[in-house]
Structure 1
């Protein structure tokens, strides 16, 4: 067992990088957010929203997925959504992350390594209710954090992202209503700064019509 536990310690050392791997999100005090902080609040969101979800949630499995979904970024790094809008960039990101999860599977061995591997792919494939919830929380937490941050930290494409969360939440009435509240906060923030959100919606609609929506 001791050899296996050494491997666990090695992965925990790798995971420590997520405490200083920075995301393109800022906190309300002006400090940049780490990947680990994003994962922590996603976990809290799952716990707080569980009673209101449409279906019974396997909380243990959901939390496992949330905890491991960004673990690959300790090796592959965090790549913001606005940097993978074209097919080649998405493929490169996927290749890096798939190699990272494969490395983790081999490092941890056939039991826990395989379990982590399967959880990561379950999250990516969004084939289960738990995976869909975890993915929705991933997107919603990002916008919540943006809402907390100064608008100057947003880039222009993130103004549009405000109105794209619905494709991740429509399967559950609780998450859809939660998304509406988060969107309302973002709209208020944008309009207070003089940004016309109706124009943003029109731009998104045009992109969707031409097949170029983000």
Structure 2
């Protein structure tokens, strides 16, 4: 047991890095957001939105998936969606993350290594209901945070992302309604800053 617990402590030491691994998101007070802060609010969203989901959800598995999904960034680093400009960049990101989760599985071995490995891939494949919910919460939390931040921190492509959230929430009525509220907040924020959201929609390329 002592050896296994020592491995757990090693992983927790590695996980500390996501407390200072910064994302391309800013807080309402002007400070940049860490990966750990994003993960924390995703977890809270899962708890608060559970009663509004159309299907019964395995909350323990969902929370584990959320907590684990960005853990690989302690090793691979965070890559914003807008930086994945081509298939080569996307492939490189996938390779780094896959190696990081493999390293975690091998490090934890007999304890929870395989479970963490399986949950990470379940999130990535987005086939189970829990994985779809986790993915939706991931995208929605990002936009909520953008809504809280000063509009000057938004880059142009993030205006378009406001109108793409439905791709991740359309499978569930409760999440769709929640998405609509978040989108409405974003539209009001952009329009208050003099950004024409109709123009943003019309200029969006087919994706």
TM-score (norm 1): 0.96
User: Which residue of 1 is the match for residue 32 of structure 2?
Assistant: 32
Structure 1: tracts of 5 or more residues without a match: none
Q: Secondary structure at 1:135's aligned position in 2? A: helix
Aligned equivalents of 1:81 and 1:110: distance in 2? 34
Aligned equivalents of 2:157 and 2:88: distance in 1? 19
TM-score (norm 2): 0.99
TM-superposed CA distance for 1:184, in Å, is 0.3
TM-superposed CA distance for 1:199, in Å, is 1.1
TM-superposed CA distance for 1:68, in Å, is 0.2
Aligned equivalents of 1:113 and 1:169: distance in 2? 30
Q: Deviations over 1:81-111 (max 9, x none)?
A: 0001311111010000000000001100044
- Residue 14 in 1 paired to residue 46 in 2? no
Contact 2:4 2:110 (8 Å CA) reproduced: no
- Residue 61 in 1 paired to residue 78 in 2? no
Q: Secondary structure at 2:23's aligned position in 1? A: strand
Aligned equivalents of 1:203 and 1:60: distance in 2? 41
User: Which residue of 2 is the match for residue 70 of structure 1?
Assistant: 70
User: Which residue of 2 is the match for residue 117 of structure 1?
Assistant: 117
User: Which residue of 2 is the match for residue 100 of structure 1?
Assistant: 100
- Residue 182 in 1 paired to residue 192 in 2? no
Aligned equivalents of 2:86 and 2:194: distance in 1? 30
Compare 84-93 and 126-135 and name the one that shifted more. 84-93
| Greater than 4 Å deviation, 4+ residue runs | none
User: Which residue of 2 is the match for residue 89 of structure 1?
Assistant: 89
TM-superposed CA distance for 1:78, in Å, is 0.5
Q: Deviations over 1:9-35 (max 9, x none)?
A: 000000000111100000000000000
TM-superposed CA distance for 1:203, in Å, is 1.7
TM-superposed CA distance for 1:202, in Å, is 1.1
Structure 2: tracts of 5 or more residues without a match: none
User: Which residue of 1 is the match for residue 127 of structure 2?
Assistant: 127
Q: Deviations over 1:109-133 (max 9, x none)?
A: 0441000000000000001000000
